[in-house]
Amino acid sequence: MSEVKQRGRRRASPSVTHELVSTPGTRREAIAAERLSSPSNISVAHLLRVHAASGTGQRVGMAMAATGLVLAVTLPSAQALDAHQIDTVASSAVSVETAVTAGAEIPITFASPEVASALNPDGMLKETLKVNASNVTPQAAKGTLGAPLKNLVTSSPFGGRISPITGQMGEQHTGQDFAIASGNEVLAAAGGTVTFSGWHQYGGGNRVVVDHGNGLSTSYNHMSANAVKVGQHVERGELVGFSGSTGASTGPHLHFEVIINDEPVDPMGWL
């Protein structure tokens, strides 16, 4: 026993790996030494072998499989989330930030600056909605709604697409999908009054609709649970429910809609 340990210590170099396999502890040391000695040669298969040696291989394999599964089911457009899309997400997140500032270019009456300022997004939205939502220009609309999730990872965009449910071409996708695991907070995009909270009969699953006034509403779909009741006033950023995959959904995500006078429009025009 002690002799083996001594030999292990004395000869703890990659060249003695075959001698150390007899005891699990020293085998891990040997593998660790091997990893350290050639970091550039570590492959996924190699890492799996290492983890198999330490008894965690199955979990690693499951985690990797689960990651692939999640990507497959949360992106109904059947497109992998590649680096380009991540770039797009990152840059759109930046544009959401800057859009709030750019929104100050909208003609605004500063009679009540404490209401309409870049630091008061609901005040800005109120100013924007002095005209009916259908008459708001794209420039004025951009940035007036807040993100319905803490992290927006866009998946399937608004507009025509192949249905992830039926596989048919020509489906009109009425909202913007954001990839999000179940159980995360879904937030009101602006202050308003809850006009619907319940089960949507046409595929939305657990759905909440918030009316922001003058023709503008937002809806939050496929949630695992709703957190508000009809008639309740919500502030911008307030919890309306938890993400999920209820209704016509192929995996956990948030289907977010912006609705102008009962017609869905592209939510990205308002975020």
* Nearer to Zn ion among residue 212 and residue 222 (C-beta): 222
Cβ proximity of 165 and 248 under 8 Å: yes
Residue 186: CB minimum distance to Zn ion, A: 14
Q: What is the dihedral sign for C-alpha 24, 30, 36, 41?
A: negative
Q: How many residues bind Zn ion (CB under 5 A)?
A: 3
What is the spatial distance between Cα 185 and Cα 147, in angstroms, rounded to a whole number? 11
Please choose, from the candidates 125, 156, 102, 150, the residue with its C-alpha nearest in 3D space to the C-alpha of residue 218: 125
Residue 223: CB minimum distance to Zn ion, A: 12
Residue 83: CB minimum distance to Zn ion, A: 23
* Nearer to Zn ion among residue 122 and residue 177 (C-beta): 177
Residue 239: CB minimum distance to Zn ion, A: 21
Residue 255: CB minimum distance to Zn ion, A: 3
Q: Which string of DSSP letters, residue by residue, matches 171-205? A: EEE-SEEEE--TT-EEE-SSSEEEEEEEEETTTTE
Residue 109: CB minimum distance to Zn ion, A: 37
Cβ proximity of 222 and 246 under 8 Å: yes
Residue 25: CB minimum distance to Zn ion, A: 52
- Cα distances (Å, whole numbers) of residue 79 to 156, 157, 187, 220, 268: 9, 12, 26, 23, 19
* Nearer to Zn ion among residue 191 and residue 251 (C-beta): 251
* Nearer to Zn ion among residue 142 and residue 255 (C-beta): 255
Question: 262: buried, middle or exposed (CB in 10 Å: 19+, 13-18, 0-12)?
Answer: exposed
Report the site for Zn ion in 119-178 (rule: CB under 5 A). Answer: 175, 177
* Nearer to Zn ion among residue 192 and residue 205 (C-beta): 205
Asked if 266 is part of the footprint of Zn ion (rule: CB under 5 A), the reply reads no
* Nearer to Zn ion among residue 126 and residue 200 (C-beta): 200
Question: 240: buried, middle or exposed (CB in 10 Å: 19+, 13-18, 0-12)?
Answer: buried
Q: What is the dihedral of CA 213, 219, 220, 221, to 10 degrees?
A: 160
* Nearer to Zn ion among residue 127 and residue 177 (C-beta): 177
* Nearer to Zn ion among residue 207 and residue 212 (C-beta): 207
Which residue's CB atom is positioned nearest to Zn ion? 255
Report the site for Zn ion in 236-265 (rule: CB under 5 A). Answer: 255
Residue 61: CB minimum distance to Zn ion, A: 31
Cα angle at 87 between 85 and 93, to 5 degrees?
105
Report the site for Zn ion in 175-204 (rule: CB under 5 A). Answer: 175, 177
- Chain positions contacting Zn ion, by CB under 5 A: 175, 177, 255
